[in-house]
């Protein structure tokens, strides 16, 4: 307010206080331009920082957009890469909702160091180890004679062509009655396939039994022949 003076509001007996207030008024007037200048400088610096941040953000957005474009493939590019594949190495789990195919594998010669692979009901591919170190509850195999009750068939699958070569089969519904542990079933308990590799075990057991019988018969025959010899 023009013409306003704190001194006029102070009693005349307070001279020292009035002089101090007057000094403070003078100091404020002197500081005014300096404070205003500093404030303007700070605002200008903040505006410069904001502009720099905006420029940096634009650069980042452009870099990300370029990276997305560079890593994106059109359908034509994907088809071309599938038609002309390169080696692919995966360090994690690979999951496919559809059957996996490797047509070239049918013409690939497998060496003697191969490992037979299996797939379980969850689609997990692996192999069955045979080391004693990974087995427990071992006991002699019994019931190998049941093999003789299995029917062996020659035929074709429903989806085979009429002139497709005949194949040899066991029927899962029949095998499960003799060797239930060797017939994988679906969630409803319906037989799906025969684990033919497991059937080699009772075959070996049956051969061992037959061999023991042959040895026993040969011993009896030798004893009979020896008794009949004058």
Radius of gyration for the alpha carbons in the chain, expressed in angstroms and rounded: 47
Q: Evaluate whether 203 touches 147 at the Cβ level (below 8 Å).
A: yes
Query: What's the pTM?
Result: 0.53
User: Residue 136 has what pLDDT?
Assistant: 92
User: Residue 160 has what pLDDT?
Assistant: 94
Spatial distance between the Cα atoms of 18 and 7, rounded to a whole number of angstroms: 6
- Local confidence pLDDT in tens for the 230 residues of the chain: 444 454 455 455 556 667 767 777 676 666 666 665 666 667 777 778 888 888 888 888 888 777 777 666 677 777 777 777 777 777 888 888 888 888 888 888 888 788 878 888 788 888 888 889 999 998 888 888 888 899 999 999 999 999 999 999 999 999 999 999 999 898 899 999 998 888 888 899 999 999 999 999 999 998 888 888 77
| Domain residue extents for the chain | 6-71, 141-228
- The sign of the dihedral angle between the CA atoms of 85, 87, 91, 97 is positive
Q: Evaluate whether 156 touches 164 at the Cβ level (below 8 Å).
A: yes
Q: Evaluate whether 206 touches 186 at the Cβ level (below 8 Å).
A: no
User: Residue 200 has what pLDDT?
Assistant: 87
User: Residue 164 has what pLDDT?
Assistant: 94
Please name which of 158, 179, 157, 182 lies closest in space to residue 168, comparing C-alpha atoms.
Answer: 157
């Amino acid at each position: 307010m023009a013409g306003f003076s704190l001194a006029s509001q102070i009693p005349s007996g307070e001279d020292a206080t009035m002089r101090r207030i007057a000094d403070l008024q003078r100091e404020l007037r002197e500081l005014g331009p300096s404070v205003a200048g500093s404030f303007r400088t700070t605002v200008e610096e903040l505006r410069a920082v904001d502009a720099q941040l905006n420029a940096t953000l634009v650069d980042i957005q452009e870099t990300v957009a370029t990276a997305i474009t560079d890593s994106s493939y059109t359908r034509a590019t994907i088809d071309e890469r599938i038609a002309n594949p390169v080696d692919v190495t995966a360090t994690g789990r690979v999951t496919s909702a559809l059957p996996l195919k490797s047509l070239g594998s049918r013409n690939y010669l497998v060496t003697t160091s191969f490992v037979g692979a299996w797939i379980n009901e969850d689609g997990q591919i692996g192999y069955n180890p045979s080391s004693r170190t990974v087995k427990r509850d071992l006991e002699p195999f019994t019931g190998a004679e049941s093999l003789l009750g299995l029917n062996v068939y020659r035929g074709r699958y429903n989806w085979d062509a009429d002139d497709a070569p005949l194949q040899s089969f066991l029927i899962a519904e029949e095998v499960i009655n003799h060797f239930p542990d060797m017939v994988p079933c679906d969630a409803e308990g319906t037989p799906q396939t025969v684990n033919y590799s497991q059937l080699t075990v009772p075959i070996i057991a049956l051969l061992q039994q037959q061999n023991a019988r042959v040895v026993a018969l040969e011993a009896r025959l030798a004893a009979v022949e020896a008794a009949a010899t004058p």
